[in-house]
């Protein structure tokens, strides 16, 4: 498998939602890119904007109440945030496949599994029903579902959770997309099935050289799957780097907090998990400075009033934290500095 040639690039994406309580600034200017054969993990706690960011670029957020207020999304050099393109069949399913968070509610209970996998092939590739159904059986077999021909004629309620997730993967890759977006692909699965699903995604990536955008809050999955990691908090990316950078050279206090709350096999660290104290900021009225300021053990006065710039620690590793400013009085030993 070759890794390279930038496939997809998001720049300064911002998404808002109108609600009865006001305007929620769910995504507040994020930028990232992913290349052929690469896996990018987007990590963060619930509500930080991970899923909204990828759903908005695919046209999957309801408009209204949602709206994209700024940003650009380039797929193979072509802008796809234009309404005339993103609402059509040129992108969704064809160029970008998506594994949704809960397969039990994402599949149609009135259609057989085979028909649901065959439908994208009929819509995007012009297959006849028979051709598409034969291909659906091949895809089920590729995702290691036993007795694929028999299973293709069954309904979702006849599948287990792990088999439903495999069927979702088969549907997502049916048109051989350039990019696969996996939104919490192992949620609610036991650890054995989780490992099988992750292995399956890696095997398919090696065969097709597709890029994967993995959305998760599970750092164990990130360590196993990702090449690069974007850490999100309160609608912004606060740290970005290779998986080695983020895990072993953490440069933002929030990343350090996520690592401290992660279970470990180290006997010396198994006694107590350290939760991140406090609550995320109110995105109806986001703070003018760093969103993590109220929960940060090293916050300074400037953190409350001004948002930090991007500080690059090496070519691909950057963070947004005032402690990396050359005049900062704080340089905690727990954080990585250039």
- Which DSSP symbol is given to 92? B
The answer to whether the predicted template modeling score (pTM) of the entire model surpasses 0.75 is yes
pLDDT band with cut points at 50, 70 and 90 for residue 269: low
Domain boundaries, the chain: 4-226, 233-265+274-324
Q: What is the dihedral of CA 97, 158, 111, 127, to 10 degrees?
A: 50
Q: Which tokens sit at 57?
A: 């670029």
Angle made by CA atoms 269, 274, 279, in degrees to the nearest 5: 165
Dihedrals φ, ψ of 267, to 5°? -55, -30
CATH value of 4-226 in 3.40.50.720, 1.10.150.130, 3.40.50.880, 3.40.50.300: 3.40.50.300
**Segment 272-299, tens digit of pLDDT:** 777 888 888 888 888 889 989 989 989 9
- C-alpha count within 13 angstroms, C-beta hemisphere, residue 39: 23
Q: What is the pLDDT, as a whole number, of residue 231?
A: 93
The whole-number average pLDDT for the span 170-178 is 82
Q: Is the pLDDT of residue 83 over 60?
A: no
- Rounded Cα gap, residues 201 and 191, in angstroms: 15
Closest CA to 54 of 5, 88, 97: 97
| The pLDDT of residue 228 is above 60 | yes
Summary mean pLDDT of the chain: 84
Tokens 């990232």, residue?
Answer: 32
Beta strands in 197-235 (DSSP E): 211-216, 228-233
Q: Which one has a higher pLDDT value, 114 or 260?
A: 114
What is the pLDDT, as a whole number, of residue 319?
Answer: 93
Residue % of the chain over a pLDDT of 70: 93
pLDDT value at position 188? 64
Structure tokens at 44: 């963060």
């Amino acid at each position: 498998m070759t890794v390279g040639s930038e496939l997809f690039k998001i720049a300064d994406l911002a998404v808002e939602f109108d609600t009865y309580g006001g305007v929620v600034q769910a995504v507040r200017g994020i930028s990232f890119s992913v290349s052929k054969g690469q896996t990018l993990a987007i990590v963060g706690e619930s509500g930080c904007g991970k899923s909204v960011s990828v759903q908005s670029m695919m046209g999957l957020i309801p408009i209204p109440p949602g709206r994209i207020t700024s940003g650009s999304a380039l797929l193979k050099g072509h802008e796809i945030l234009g309404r005339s393109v993103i609402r059509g069949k040129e992108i969704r399913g064809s160029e970008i496949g998506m594994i949704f968070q809960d397969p039990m509610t994402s599949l149609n209970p009135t259609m057989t599994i085979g028909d649901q996998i065959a439908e994208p092939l009929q819509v995007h590739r012009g297959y006849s029903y028979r051709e598409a159904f034969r291909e659906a059986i091949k895809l089920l077999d590729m995702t290691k579902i036993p007795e694929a021909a028999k299973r293709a004629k069954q309904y979702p309620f006849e599948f287990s959770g792990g088999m439903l997730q495999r069927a979702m993967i088969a549907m997502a890759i049916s048109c051989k997309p350039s990019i696969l977006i996996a939104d919490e692909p192992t949620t609610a699965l036991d650890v054995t099935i989780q490992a099988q699903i992750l292995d399956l995604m890696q095997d398919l990536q090696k065969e097709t050289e597709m890029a994967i955008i993995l959305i998760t809050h599970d750092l164990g999955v990130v360590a196993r799957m990702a090449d690069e990691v974007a850490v999100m908090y309160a609608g912004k990316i606060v740290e970005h780097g290779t998986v080695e950078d983020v895990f072993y050279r953490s440069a933002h206090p929030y990343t350090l907090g996520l690592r401290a709350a992660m279970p470990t096999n180290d006997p010396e660290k198994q006694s107590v998990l350290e939760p991140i104290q406090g609550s995320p900021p109110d995105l109806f009225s986001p703070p003018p400075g760093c969103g993590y300021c109220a929960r940060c053990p090293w916050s300074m006065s400037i953190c409350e009033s001004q948002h930090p710039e991007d500080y690059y620690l090496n070519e691909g590793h950057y963070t947004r934290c005032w402690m990396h400013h050359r005049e900062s009085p704080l340089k905690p030993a727990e954080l990585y500095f250039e």
